[in-house]
Every structure is written in C-alpha cells, then in structure tokens.
C-alpha cells in the first residue's frame, strides 16, 4: 500500500527566504507526482505535475524535483512572500490510478 509522508508538518519562515518542502513515498512504482496548494477552507490548487520520467518541473518561483528510485520529492519556493502562506500537499498516482496524498505542510511566511 502506497504511503506518502510530508515533513515538517508546519514551517514558518521570514519573507524573502528560500525554502524547501519535502515529500516521501513508499512505493517507487508511480506514474506521476503532483504538488497542490490549499488555502484555509478552500479546495486544492494544482501547482506542478512531474511525470515519472521527469526529474523536475518549474513554474515561476516554484521548482519541484522527483527522485523516484529513492521515493522523494521536494518543492522549492524562491523568495517567499506572505501570499505563499498555505498548506502544501503532495500526491502520487500509482498503478491503481488514484492519487494518494500526504498530510501536508502548513507554511507560514512572516512579513
């Protein structure tokens, strides 16, 4: 059974700093990995999708990497802003074609 872990559960950093969020998964036989953002009381917004054959994806200040063999992904946020404050979730799609989510990292950017 696929299990996804995100550490830390919460993170606070001063505005302007670069930061890294971590995601690990137990079964490396994945098809893709997706990072989402969730604001309080809201749904999930897709940030980046990394195919199993890819090593990284970039969108603006966000860069996500994937090391499938070691079961790890990181989300790098450059020059953090207060608007980046949210919960960040990673999810993997495995052979059963459903997304398995981690419990998320709650990020707070301090102005």
Partner 1 sequence: GAGVSQTPSNKVTEKGKYVELRCDPISGHTALYWYRQSLGQGPEFLIYFQGTGAADDSGLPNDRFFAVRPEGSVSTLKIQRTERGDSAVYLCASSLRGGGRRGNTEAFFGQGTRLTVV
- Give the binding site for partner 1 (CB under 8 A): 4, 31-32, 34, 36, 41-46, 49, 51-52, 89, 91, 93-104
| Cβ-based nearer residue to partner 1, 4 or 86 | 4
| Cβ-based nearer residue to partner 1, 54 or 63 | 54
**The dihedral sign for the CA sequence 4, 14, 81, 12:** positive
Of the candidates 23, 44, 58, which has an alpha carbon nearest to the alpha carbon of residue 87? 44
| Cβ-based nearer residue to partner 1, 61 or 98 | 98
Q: How far is the CB of 92 from partner 1 (least distance, A)?
A: 9
Q: Are strands 86-94 and 99-101 parallel, antiparallel or unpaired?
A: antiparallel
Q: How far is the CB of 76 from partner 1 (least distance, A)?
A: 20
Which DSSP category does 55 fall into?
A: S
Lookup: tokens for 9? 């559960």
């Amino acid at each position: 059974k696929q299990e996804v872990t995100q550490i830390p559960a919460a993170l606070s950093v001063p505005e302007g700093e670069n930061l890294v969020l971590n995601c690990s998964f137990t079964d490396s036989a994945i098809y893709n990995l997706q990072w989402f953002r969730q604001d309080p009381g809201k749904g999930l917004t897709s940030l980046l999708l990394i195919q199993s054959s890819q090593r990284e994806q970039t969108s603006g200040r966000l860069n996500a990497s994937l090391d499938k063999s070691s079961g790890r992904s990181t989300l790098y946020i450059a020059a953090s802003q207060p608007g980046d404050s949210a919960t960040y979730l990673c999810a993997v799609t495995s052979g059963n074609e459903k997304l398995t989510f981690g419990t998320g990292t709650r990020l707070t950017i301090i102005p």
